[in-house]
Structure 1
């Protein structure tokens, strides 16, 4: 018989509409109906103790809660949690752990409000234990980077229909050195921190992928800025390469340099800037040159 500590948590499958239609007036005075993201609040209770309220789109709330607890370093793995129950009627997520969270009051006493939409927050010191992170020795070719960016361009999304959301994705690279980048999961939310937490929760629920099938060749993509929070969370998730269509902050850059993470920004079409960890990027400038000649 499997002991509870060896079992993944039981999760509900609560879903809510991602968009709603509203009537607007344009610059000509014409009325029309458009879709907007359905932002909603979700209060997390851990063993009946209120922890925090997140503002979220609500696409995969159970994974969001699990990833949030992992990225806040309040639990070590999914196996610490018995169940996560989300009920949108009362806008709450009830988390039941196997043995409680050690020193939870002390560890959640200090809160840092992070940058960006949705007013993300983290508990404790952002840089705590960051030097203990050891990232896998992963390399990515320029062709794989272009394949990744193109996959995002083709992805159906709430952003395309309603705007006002951030998207994040996790890719794996071809172990044989091919030019492909396989998208494992794509998540959108009102804040990029929610999207990366949801991906962390998804990874934790698939330990076979997390330790085996995914392998070390993981790349994280975000439409948002590469802030210190995003870089730290990526590193904690064991992802050595991050790509953004936006730029990078000073603290995000400093953390990336510190942990040896490859940070690529301004990635659109064939353009990009590698801010840090360029040794992880196998350049193929002829691919960019070829595109320029065609254009």
Structure 2
């Protein structure tokens, strides 16, 4: 199924020694996908047309527009996968914030979020879960091995939720790291998975809005191979999230709430 998101296009591969070869390259496809909420189009996203329903629900829950999966009436993917219709009970104030308080995020595909203030960043993840550092090393070992889209194209991010033993809960892929997180939490929430004792592994760098998304779903631990920003660390500390960055090659940096990691 993943091959539906890959095109084979010609390119000229050039080498430093002066050689060049005409060849076919695997290129990821992205599409403009429209999100309609209660019959009204609220935004479009550029993403891989995979798990579009979970992506939409994850985004709306992350922004507080939908407060619970119990508030969802119907979700359907239409128009050859390029439109998602969501009918749900919504928080009108947070929906208005999406338009009133536009903030350009530091995403690889520039994202927009509105709900950076108020009750969303007043959350605190109080989970008492603790995981051994060995689980992190083990999970990192197969996190990157099981990414066929990246192996073929080098152009997608991955997000994966595991439990305290390292067993996979859900995983998702997209060209945008924010999209990948919204997809994986959307899949988990639609499946009624308990995320209060989960660990989120992501392939991209960690920034403020990533921590807000994590807190909105009560995820206590986030691990990334990449770097983190100062605001991500500050917000993780305030939100009660254990933030682990530069997790690679047998080392990692634990920035906040270190007691959750058993060394």
- Asked whether the two chains share a fold, i.e. TM above 0.5, the reply is yes
CA distance in 2, matches of 1:103, 1:276: 31
Q: Equivalent of 2:225, from 221, 238, 245? A: 245
CA distance in 1, matches of 2:94, 2:218: 25
Contact 1:15 1:58 in 2 (8 A): no
**Relative to structure 1, is the Cα distance of residues 254 and 89 closer, same or farther in structure 2, using a 3 angstrom cutoff?**
same
- Partner SS for 2:201: strand
Aligned residues: 258
CA distance in 2, matches of 1:168, 1:187: 5
Q: Equivalent of 1:263, from 221, 243, 250? A: 243
Q: Equivalent of 1:102, from 92, 95, 101? A: 92
Shift of 1:252: 0.3
Segments ≥4 residues shifted beyond 3 Å: 126-129
Report which stretch shifted further, 254-263 or 152-161. Answer: 152-161
Report which stretch shifted further, 23-32 or 99-108. Answer: 99-108
> Counterpart in 1 of 2:5?
18
Q: Equivalent of 1:75, from 30, 47, 66? A: 66
Post-superposition Cα deviations, 1:221-250, rounded to whole Å, max 9, x if no partner, equal 101111111111111111111000001101
Counterparts of 1:159-170 in structure 2, within 5 Å, are 159-170=150-161
- Partner SS for 2:4: coil
Contact 1:56 1:194 in 2 (8 A): yes
Which structure 1 residue ranges, 5 or more long, are not aligned? 1-13, 175-180, 284-295
> Counterpart in 2 of 1:48?
39
**Relative to structure 1, is the Cα distance of residues 74 and 281 closer, same or farther in structure 2, using a 3 angstrom cutoff?**
same
Post-superposition Cα deviations, 1:60-103, rounded to whole Å, max 9, x if no partner, equal 11110111111011011122122122224482222222x45534
> Counterpart in 1 of 2:199?
219
CA distance in 2, matches of 1:206, 1:139: 24
Larger Rg: 1
CA distance in 2, matches of 1:127, 1:22: 47
Contact 2:120 2:216 in 1 (8 A): no
CA distance in 1, matches of 2:126, 2:105: 24
Report which stretch shifted further, 242-251 or 137-146. Answer: 137-146
Counterparts of 1:184-223 in structure 2, within 5 Å, are 184-207=169-192, 209-210=193-194, 216-223=196-203
Which structure 2 residue ranges, 5 or more long, are not aligned? none
Contact 1:126 1:229 in 2 (8 A): no
**Relative to structure 1, is the Cα distance of residues 128 and 278 closer, same or farther in structure 2, using a 3 angstrom cutoff?**
same
